[in-house]
Amino acid sequence: MNKKIFVESERKFTIDLLKKLPGPKWQATTLCKGWTVEDLATHLVVRERHPLNDLGLIAPRFMNSHNNKIKSLESNGHKYIIEKLSHYPWWMPASLNVAEFWVHNEDFLRGSLKMSRPKPSKDVENLLWGALKGLVKINKPMLADLGSVIITNDLNDDRITVENRNSDKVVTLSGTAGELLLYCFGRRAAAKVKIKHKSA
């Protein structure tokens, strides 16, 4: 399975899930603190179709722009959000959506909807592991509070090491790629990850 096929399947999962939800369920909470299913689905639209408004998630001073755009699009109704998600923007590289759609689909399912789906296949796990490697390489601060981190894959012998020379703590995180991605994206309480602490 390549990245494009995976992202298309995850997008379809999102759309199928949203289509099945009755109106009140769109107000269910997600793993994204403060965001409902409706907010998170609309965020996906903003991220792909209004990238300037999405800067708020990177630069806090633009957060009002992001939130205002979400509220503006939500006023168009649920069918509008689903329709926008149904068309993959040609300019969006699949590599930017591997982790995004996986994590956000789990955000939907593991929030107050309390839903689940089958465990990912080996091919999917391999794609998620690749996405995790890229993520921790470009965003080391997301794990800085843990000290130096060793990330180990339960399904094979692969590991990722993230050094933190400003700390004498060493933490080993182990699990499947999908669960480790959730952890590194800040869904620590929901991620099924084993944690081992030791001094450097």
Contacts made by residues 131-140, CB under 8 angstroms, sequence distance 24+: 131/95, 131/98, 131/99, 131/102, 131/177, 131/181, 132/99, 132/160, 132/177, 132/180, 132/181, 132/184, 133/160, 134/95, 135/99, 135/181, 135/184, 135/185, 136/160, 136/162, 136/184, 140/164
Domains of the chain: 3-110 (no CATH), 125-199 (3.30.1050)
Each residue's pLDDT tens digit in the chain (200 positions)? 899 999 999 999 999 999 999 999 999 999 999 999 999 999 999 888 876 555 545 555 556 777 888 899 999 999 999 999 998 888 788 888 899 999 999 999 999 999 999 999 999 999 999 999 999 988 888 899 999 999 999 999 899 999 999 999 999 999 999 999 999 999 999 999 999 988 65
